[in-house]
Every structure is written in structure tokens, then in C-alpha cells.
Amino acid sequence: MKTKATTRTRTTKADPETDEAIHQAIARAIMDGRLRAGTKLAEHKLAESFGVSRERIRKVLHRLGAERRVDIIPNRGARVPQPTVDEIKAIYEAHRVLEAGVLVQLIRILDDAILARLDAHLAEERHAAISGDRAASVRLSGAFHIHLVDALGNAELSRMLRDLLSRSSVMVSVYEPASQSICAVDEHGAIVEALRTRDIQRAIELSRHHFLHVEQRLRPEIRDEPATDLGAIFRKVGRKRAKKTI
């Protein structure tokens, strides 16, 4: 007679380092624009590419889903988000409204330390844009707005903005031409200069136009492209991981 112990399903051994490496590889591929919108992230193909179990891949995909970086569709698996025009408009309207309120509060506490942090961040953004680091440009572009809201010390506002950014960053990654990254840096710089001169109305207007420009740069049309080869994108990462375990 079989006992519960003998019929219990064997689970994948915990390996946080491998989970993190796979998570970062998939997230970066999305942010780099190497995974196009709507790409199916098939568990068996990813497991083969990384040389791990499907259970481990499923765990990572669900984490990415919780972070809004991928869509988890019941009975159909995970896909790279393919937001509609209406979804894009809703997210960027929320961005514009939230940041306007953030700027009104920020101008009241603005000091040299906050401005110095923003200036240092702009330097990082410009370097990433000029060097052509697509993933870093998208990440740093979002981080600029996080710097603004975090300066207020309001955890709820920071949480709300991070949730919006987790969705809009993917929109930018899959729908914005890579050549447009430098534009965001210049627009962020103009917002900082308006804050530096304590011109709150100009800062709000610049912020509003910035989010409108980003929204308008997105190209959500469906393109006739060959299916994405997950193996070609991730197999090299899987081989590197395998060498470390030898």
C-alpha cells in the first residue's frame, strides 16, 4: 500500500541564485526589446534553454507576472504583454495626473540635496542613452520619476507610481523605437531645470508633455514578423549557468 510519503510529488530543489539569474535574463530580454509584444513564453522551451525544470520556469514566470512584466493567461501560459491603445492611454493619463500632484508637493521641500540626486541620475540616463544600452535606458527613465516621488517620503504614492511604471516600462520596451531614448533624457532635464528655478507651473506642463510624448512615440501596430526563437535568445545564458555548476 502506497503511503503519502511515496506518492508525494517531488519538488524542485530551492536554488534562489538560479531563479534570480533566469528572472533577470527574461526581464532584460523584454526591456531590451528582444522579445516582441505578445510572444508566448513557453515553459518547455525556456526550461530547455536554461537547462532547468519547467517547475522552476513556472515559478519565475509567476514572479514576473506579479511584477506586471508578463501576462499570465489561465490555461494558456505566459506571454509578453501586448497592451491595447486604450490601455496605453489609461496608463499615461494616470502618470500625468499622479506626477502633477507629486511635483506640487515636491516644490515645497525641494533642496540642494534632492537636486543633486536628480542631476546625478540625469548623468546616468544620458550615458545609457548615448552608449545604446536599451535596457538601462528604460530602467533609468522610470527611475527618474521614482526619484521624484520617493523624495516625498510617502510610501503609498511611491507604491502607486511603481505599479504604473512596471506596466509602462514594458509598453516602452515593446513599442517604442530605440532611437527615441535620448529624447526622454532631455525632457527629464527640462523638468529638473524648472524645479531648480521653482517654476512649478512650468514643471507640471513639461511633465504633462513628457508623458504625452512618450505615449505618442509608442507604436502598438501588429507587425508581420517571424516567431521569436526563445532558444536563440536564452540558450547562451543557460550554458553559462551550466558551466558554473560544474
Per-residue pLDDT of the chain (246 residues; tens, 9 = 90+): 444 444 333 456 778 899 999 999 998 888 777 888 889 999 999 999 999 999 999 999 999 999 888 999 998 899 999 999 999 999 999 999 999 999 999 999 999 999 999 999 999 999 998 898 888 888 899 999 999 999 999 999 999 999 998 888 888 888 876 555 567 899 999 999 999 999 999 999 999 999 999 998 888 865 555 567 888 888 765 555 544 543
Quote the pLDDT of residue 228.
Answer: 74
Quote the pLDDT of residue 226.
Answer: 58
> What's the CATH fold of domain 13-82?
Arc Repressor Mutant, subunit A (1.10.10)
Quote the pLDDT of residue 2.
Answer: 46
Backbone angles phi, psi at 86, to 5 degrees: -65, -40
The x, y and z cell numbers of residue 146, run together, are: 521614482
As annotated, the residues of the chain forming the CATH 1.20.120.530 domain(s) are 85-217
* Longest distance between any two alpha carbons in the chain, whole Å: 80
Quote the pLDDT of residue 24.
Answer: 92
Quote the pLDDT of residue 230.
Answer: 86
Quote the pLDDT of residue 146.
Answer: 96
> What's the CATH fold of domain 85-217?
Four Helix Bundle (Hemerythrin (Met), subunit A) (1.20.120)
As annotated, the residues of the chain forming the CATH 1.10.10.10 domain(s) are 13-82
Nearest 5°: CA angle at 120, between 88 and 110? 80
